[in-house]
Structure 1
Amino acid sequence: MLSEQELERYSRQIMLFGENGQQHLKNANVFIAGAGGLGCPIALYLAVAGVGNLKMVDKDVVDRSNLNRQVLHWETDIGKEKVLSIEEKLRSINPDIDVDVFTKIIDISNVSELIADADVIVDAMDNYSTRYLLNQVAQEKGIPLIHGAVRGFDGQATTIIPGKTACLNCLFPSAPPGEIFPVVGVTAGLIAMVQANEVIKYLVGTGEMLTDRLLIWNGLSAEIEYLKFKKRCDCIICSSYSDKS
């Protein structure tokens, strides 16, 4: 049940999707892979929305070069583990939620256990090798995956529903070359907002999801385009799994 404090905190949202929708958010478990430029605003807005259980995993510590875009890390956090920095902020922002964090490299040996029985997986990573792991476990467990990526003034996002939509490997059969890429903070913030919005819509069951469409943001022209894509019959990942919806 929602407490009186929660009813007051979320009163403007409850006007949109009712106490039942807010209860769905409170009961939800969301796994966020990455505590950087995307992970920070995603975690912040899911926390203030009242998503009751957030789990975050990241291996890094805060560096001064992170501070132009990783908005939950501050000057005083330099040298601190990123997930601990975020945990501290989220618990202060909303004491009514649970936050579980791990300083780990996500790899084949632990990805399934870390995700466990999450309701949604959020890809806030900066490399495709981990993204492909998240996609594979999402397909195995039948858990939606919300993808986002940024570079410079450009960004992209899509939502993958196992058994119903194309998967990340359908969209990107091979990974782009790895690099240390430029990025401006507002790009990460914008794409993160799209991802957080997708999580909230999915959990409360409202709106149209960003499925089988890649949202492409061009910050220099302030334009959004959509690339439609389809499930590949020869996909090495999603073609191996039956409908788990």
Structure 2
Amino acid sequence: MVRYDINMPCLSEEENSILRDKTVAVVGCGSLGGYIIEMLGRLGVGKIIAVDGDVFEESDLNRQMLSNVENMGKPKALEAWERMKLVNPDVELLPVYNLIDDNNAITILQKAQVVVDALDNVKGKMALQKACEELKIPLVYGAISGWHAQITTIFPGDKSLDKIYSDAKETKNPHGNLSFTPALAASMEVSEVLKLLIGRGDLLKSKMLSINLLNNSFEITKL
């Protein structure tokens, strides 16, 4: 398809075809998730499970690409579905209007080959790690705060979030979020997803990329 011609210098025709047969679950359709869903759809990932139990509010407009002045009060997951019909109707987007937790995570995620974390709370992230551990599928983790972002890819058995959040408490983000931080972090997460799906490239496994955009620093540390 002409749509994917510009992918070809980076991806082989076979790799492009592989993407159409894959299912990726994106949990959270807000700051990170909106960008992630957009990029996965434009890449041509065949099926996207978009999970979010929240609706858009005016405070989302500064950074959440799926939000606009016309869809305030509407479910984020359903708006992701509407957006994908415009961006790439060949992609099957399955909206799940629900908050994910330990009770429903397995059911929601069981058909995915990769799960992408786009949540803004530690409890939800830990539920994702637990479910992916049981399902034996990789989890691409991302978090943002102000000028900062961090990304890692977690395989079953790694339990990387146990190390990242060993002494963390559930607190509201004191630094807020800017329009560009989620876009960059989402790009890094989608890059990890693509490498997982095509089986090529160096992954952030057992290591975390920490980004400070205010100081233009990018640092990788072992987990």
The percent identity for this pair of structures is 33
Superposed counterparts of 1:1-245, under 5 Å: 7-163=1-157, 165-181=158-174, 182-229=176-223
Give the aligned partner of residue 232 of structure 1: none
Contact 1:212 1:228 in 2 (8 A): yes
TM-superposed CA distance for 1:219, in Å, is 1.2
Contact 2:20 2:44 in 1 (8 A): yes
Unaligned runs of 5+ in 2: none
Hey, what's the Cα distance between the residues in 2 that align with 1:183 and 1:56?
Answer: 22
Deviation per residue, 1:87-110 (Å, 9 max, x gap): 111111001110000111111221
Give the aligned partner of residue 242 of structure 1: none
TM-superposed CA distance for 1:140, in Å, is 0.9
Hey, what's the Cα distance between the residues in 2 that align with 1:91 and 1:221?
Answer: 38
TM-superposed CA distance for 1:171, in Å, is 3.3
Hey, what's the Cα distance between the residues in 2 that align with 1:216 and 1:145?
Answer: 17
CA RMSD of aligned residues (A): 1.3
* DSSP 3-state at the match of 1:143: coil
Hey, what's the Cα distance between the residues in 1 that align with 2:110 and 2:7?
Answer: 28
* DSSP 3-state at the match of 2:73: coil
Contact 1:29 1:119 in 2 (8 A): yes
Hey, what's the Cα distance between the residues in 2 that align with 1:161 and 1:23?
Answer: 24
* DSSP 3-state at the match of 1:224: strand
Hey, what's the Cα distance between the residues in 1 that align with 2:165 and 2:156?
Answer: 16
Hey, what's the Cα distance between the residues in 2 that align with 1:143 and 1:174?
Answer: 26
* DSSP 3-state at the match of 1:155: strand
TM-score, normalised by the number of residues in structure 1: 0.87
What amino acid is aligned across from residue 82 of structure 1 in structure 2? K
Hey, what's the Cα distance between the residues in 1 that align with 2:88 and 2:214?
Answer: 35
Deviation per residue, 1:95-139 (Å, 9 max, x gap): 111000011111122111000121000000000001001001111
Hey, what's the Cα distance between the residues in 2 that align with 1:21 and 1:166?
Answer: 29
TM-superposed CA distance for 1:32, in Å, is 0.6
Contact 1:81 1:103 in 2 (8 A): yes
* DSSP 3-state at the match of 1:77: coil
TM-superposed CA distance for 1:17, in Å, is 2.2
TM-superposed CA distance for 1:174, in Å, is 3.7
Hey, what's the Cα distance between the residues in 1 that align with 2:55 and 2:194?
Answer: 28
Q: Which has the larger radius of gyration?
A: 1
What amino acid is aligned across from residue 33 of structure 1 in structure 2? V
TM-superposed CA distance for 1:212, in Å, is 1.1
Contact 1:73 1:86 in 2 (8 A): no
TM-score, normalised by the number of residues in structure 2: 0.95
